[in-house]
Structure 1
Amino acid sequence: MPDQLIYAMEVILNGLMAGVLYALVALGFVLIYKASGIFNYAQGVMALFAAMTLVGIMNGQVPFAHLINAIFGGHITHFGWNIPALLAIILTMGVMVLLAWAVQHFVMRHLVGQEPIILFMATIGLAYFLEGVADLMWGSEIKTLDVGLPQGINLWIDETTYNIFGYGFFIDNLDIVATIIAALLVAALVAFSQYTKQGRAMRAVADDHQAALSVGISLNFIWVMVWSVAGFVALVAGIMWGTKSGVQFSLSLIALKALPVLMLGGFTSIPGAIVGGLIIGVGEKLFEFAVGPLVGGATENWFAYVLALIFLVFRPQGLFGEKIIERV
């Protein structure tokens, strides 16, 4: 088998793995949009906030340590103990549920029935607020995240050569873990949305807030539930991205890469988020492989957005989105 073909196959495999990580972030957008019709600009910052909170809890870091020391003149930074990863994840999920309740109680319930642009602007404000709170709570330095996944040769983290059809392919094992987790998440979320009472209520709320209220659906409960699930998805995405590249404030920018994924897959389709992520992941890797050397490289920075623009022109609802028909 020619070396170029082997390398191209490796590029495709790595593109699929990268696409899964994009899709994990896009899932959070889809969940909130399906339930409320809100495009949650803060989803990327939620992943950052969850990852930073997880690291802070695991390391026994004192929240708001810099602020406390500045006010009281102390030098305390840590409690002096470390929290096991599993317990820290559970505690972080509790924080994300509390955040979901706060968002609903202090922001969203006051905006019922407002225009979509008003709700979108509210999520922009929420994004900057969460980013500031994360900085005050945990500091702005880059943090290493290790949740205890096995490391070493032939295990789940390091790059290991897998022999396929007699040829070696370098695949990051963390991406394999992300693929498995994403598949399980999608299956669970689709089942929840289609076959549970709460899932059907979620879709009803997305169609019409006032009509859902009139038939006895608790808007407050549905929104807290959906923001909590989106917070869990953000936590999973934050763990994967944070383990891969460190927990840093640039992590919030992964939301920008999720936008083309949503435009391809559709804003209301959970499977579409996965398919869109895979298309973007493979497409940008192949384009960089085939065209990058001819144009000076760095095509991964803009390929996804050009592809999304093409979709907006010819199929604005995405591959799996529903075409909106308005009667006049």
Structure 2
Amino acid sequence: MDWLFFTEVLVGGLLAGVMYSLVALGFVLIYKASGVFNFAQGAMVLFAALTFVSIQAMGVPFWLTFFITLVIMVALGLAIERVVLRPMVNQPPISLFMATIGLAFFLEGLAQMLWGADVHGLNLGFNDEPFDVGGVFISSFDVFAAAICAVLVGSLALFFNKTRLGRALRAVADDHQAAMSVGIPLKQIWAIVWGVAGFVALVCGLLWGSRLGVQFALTLVVLKALPVLILGGFTSVPGAIIGGLIIGAGEKLAEVYLGPILSGGIENWFPYVLALLFLLVRPEGLFGEKHIERV
């Protein structure tokens, strides 16, 4: 086996996995606070990326464009919480899930109505030139993107575990009624989480849009977070990190070493097969909480 080539593929997969972790984090934030699986997260990523490139095309400087788009995405998250989630409190989970599916189609249509449906390139001002580390060639953009994702994921992990607001959010995730009984403002916590989810969607949109172009396919990339969540657990920030690394490395290695044997395009379906096998062994994920029901 060519160990240098193996290492190159593995490192590339791990760096892509960090970006998957950031995508999965958007789902974890919402699910952890409200128990809602936000199917509209992919549409939020597309909306953020399309808004950014459209504003930047007007000649607005990069950082001002980023700030304007950030304000729009935070406002969008707050509006979703107020208009969609809050009126449906205490409804069955399937009703909330169906609401987010409808929201996804609405956001996709709204984004294309406002900014058009053309494919756009997105330049973050960073040249993707591979560099050599001991004979292993690594994409400089992948390192840059992984560093951004790692800082953001790490910051949010510290926020959840070390700050008062983060502990309040964890309390809300454990038991809504108990959290309210000790004075935790449930609606404010939900609003903050949806606002942060809007920010995460913006960062995801910029990084994945720069790699793939700003197009409808961005909504499909976000679905790659599903295997990550199954492996790591739907309520765990560390689980999103570990799950992303496993999926990122696994799909790249499978594509290179199993692709020629099985068929092309194994990278597209291998993560889902891996997640399906994992469900048979540990349905709650590596860091998920076991639910014991007594009858």
Q: Same fold (TM over 0.5)?
A: yes
Deviation of the 1:280 alpha carbon: 0.7
Aligned with 2:250 (options 271, 283, 290):
283
Decide which of 89, 94, 105 is 1:128's aligned counterpart.
105
Aligned to 2:121: 144
Larger deviation: 27-36 or 192-201? 192-201
Q: Once the two structures are superposed, what CA deviation does each residue of 1:272-322 show, in whole Å capped at 9, x if it has no partner?
A: 111111111111111122211111222111110110001111101111111
Counterpart among 229, 233, 250 of residue 217 in structure 2: 250
Letter in 2 for 1:123: T
Q: Which amino acid aligns with 1:212?
A: A
Q: Is the 8 A contact 1:265 1:319 kept in 2?
A: yes
Distance across 1 between alignment mates of 2:242 and 2:11: 15
Q: Give the SS at the match of 1:170.
A: strand
Q: 1:21 maps to which residue?
A: 19
Aligned counterpart, 1:96: 73
The match for 1:303 is 270
Any idea what SS the aligned residue of 2:123 has? coil
The answer to whether structure 1 residue 264 and structure 2 residue 262 are counterparts is no
In the alignment, the residues of structure 2 paired with residue 217 and residue 298 of structure 1 have an alpha-carbon distance, to the nearest angstrom, of 48
Partner of residue 159, structure 1: 129
Could you tell me which residue of structure 1 aligns to residue 5 of structure 2? 7
Distance 1:225 1:119 in 2: 19
Structure 1 segments, 4+ long, off by >3 Å, are none
Structure 1 counterpart of 2:203: 236
Q: Which residue number in structure 1 is paired with residue 92 of structure 2? A: 115
The structural deviation recorded for 1:326 is 2.6
Residue 204 of structure 1 deviates from its aligned partner by 2.1
- The reply to whether residue 219 of structure 1 matches residue 186 of structure 2 is yes
2:176 equivalent among 192, 209, 212: 209
What residue ranges of structure 1 are gaps of 5+ in the alignment?
61-81, 152-157
TM-score, structure 2 as length reference: 0.96
Q: Deviations over 1:117-160 (max 9, x none)?
A: 111111111111100100101111101112333x3xxxxxx232
SS, match of residue 260 in structure 2: helix
Match of 1:312 in 2: 279
Task: Letter of the 1:148 partner, please give it.
Answer: G
Query: Matches of 2:248 and 2:178 in 1, distance apart?
Result: 39
CA–CA distance in structure 2, aligned partners of residues 19 and 187 of structure 1: 15
Contact 1:174 1:240 in 2 (8 A): no
Correspondent of 1:58 among 53, 56, 73:
56
Kept in 1, the 8 Å contact 2:44–2:201? The answer is yes
Q: Which amino acid aligns with 1:211?
A: A
**Aligned-pair identity (%):** 58
CA distance in structure 2 between the partners assigned to 1:290 and 1:260 by the alignment: 20
Deviation at 1:105, TM superposition (A): 1.5
Q: Distance in 1 between matches of 2:293 and 2:129?
A: 51
Compute the RMSD of aligned alpha carbons.
1.4
* Cα distance in 2 for residues equivalent to 1:211 and 1:35: 13
- 2: distance between equivalents of 1:23 and 1:44? 14
Secondary structure, counterpart of 2:261 in structure 1: helix
Unaligned runs of 5+ in 2: none
Structure 2 CA distance for aligned equivalents of residues 124 and 262 of structure 1: 18
Structure number, greater radius of gyration = 1
Aligned residue in 2 for 1:79: none
